[in-house]
Structure 1
Amino acid sequence: MLSYRHSFHAGNHADVLKHTVQSLIITALKEKEKPFLYLDTHAGAGRYLLSGEHAERTGEYLEGIARVWQQDDLPEELAPYISCVKALNRGPGLRYYPGSPLIARHLLREDDKLELTELHSSDFPLLRSEFQKDSRARLARADGYQQLKARLPPPSRRGLILIDPPYEMKSDYQAVVKGIQEGYRRFGTGVFALWYPVVLRQQIKRMVHDLEATGIRRILQIELAVRPDSDRFGMTGSGMIVVNPPWKLEQQMRDLLPWLHRVLVPAGTGHTSVSWITPE
């Protein structure tokens, strides 16, 4: 379908959760000297103008990164993520928001590699322009799920694979499970991070059940909801499912989520959770 444009949603509460988890995983991978691969299956445009037509039309960032940006008691777990946002916003204001490729670009080292895939005809040229001078990056306008077959395992045998599809179709919830299964079969030691929206709780329950059925161990689920579950149209929250999470990630998110919930959801609705879909 390819009608989804992340520029309408950049910097919202779901991005804050997703990019915080992404940043913590990358930081953990950097604790070892050996280089690693960052593979992004649905990379988007890379950079988003928060004063642009799309972001201004929805204003979602005002209830996301804008609220975090205003705080002066940022927990240390947010430091890697916020450093990426600051790198795009040299002044006091908040003009740009970095998508997951720019988060990775800022945090990765010289010897680390980026594989970025985007299929949208409008977003791919923007992504290509953003990375044309970065020798670490390889870009492809292709099906992101195919990259899980074509690019894994990396020569370094270390890596983070971020799977962040638009969920334009209900079948995406099954496609992500198949994608993780395919990738894990080739690269069982890799870290796979899957973002998902909570629109209908039953869809998430089925996806989790399908993940359990794969037999893959060490799958962590992290969720931040801004409203109670509903059967009405609209996203009430989002989550990250992480296969082979770094050992500190569970406790980091248990410590951080209450703060994020308080800042992002002043009304106190919704919930946060950190739990294992499958343990060791």
Structure 2
Amino acid sequence: MSELQGIYAHLAELRSRIIRIVIALGIIITFMLTFKLAPVVVGGITLYYPMPEPLHNMAAQITNYMKETLVPQNVQLIQTAPGQAFYAQVYIAALVGLVVSMPIIVRELTSFIKPALSESEVHAVRSIALPAIALFVTGAIFAYLTVIPFMLDFLYQYGESSGLVTFLNVMDFVTFVLQFLLAFGVAFQLPLIMYAATASGMTDVQFWRRNIRYAFVILVIVGAIVTPDGSGVTMWFISGPMIGLYVVGMFLLERRERNTRRLKSEDMPKNK
């Protein structure tokens, strides 16, 4: 009976923490869909402040910015059914809400599993939270500035070479962009995943070098699966950075182990 009560207590705590996360996400999404950023010049510096504007909200501003910076020339971004533009804005607001509320998500999940972890493990989880967010944002920015513009331009050059007028559905466009932003944000977590697997004892440092050939093959396959075309060109914009991150993570782990061994060897004469 006491075990059942303990399980119910854990489920109730998990439910309350999930509710807090959902509320945080809901507030950010609602804010993105209700307010817009209006410019104001103060002392020669342009600042932005939120003001209520549901139709021309921040998600719509982001959609328009994406259209201006990512959609190739001579490609028309269109809406083919009622509500598509609104749903596209919801997707964008959800992604922004996920990134902005990540500290809350990490805090709630860490607090939930804290009783099952040691103090050092709790500290390790919290210490990688900020790097994880930074790597996610870095991956998304890298994808937005380099990979997505190239892929869109490359894929729509086929229509231009045939003298066709290309139309791009706003939902397809936003889904395509967010898919790659998420993919690169997650892919850039690879060094942290390698660190966590090594620090937890699941693998050793030498594991990553021993299996580097298999890792490269897997990462190339992942790039081929994620990219929408079969040209074999665009997949390297995903596989290449992931291979680079794998190599960087491997070298950092090996350097960390060498430093640890050096410190231990320096401490041994003192202990004697």
Give the TM-score band, short-chain normalised: under 0.3
Larger strand share, 1 or 2? 1
Between the two structures, name the one with larger relative contact order (CA 8 Å, sep ≥ 6): 1
Structure with greater Cα Rg? 2
TM-score, with length taken from structure 1: 0.23
TM-score, with length taken from structure 2: 0.23
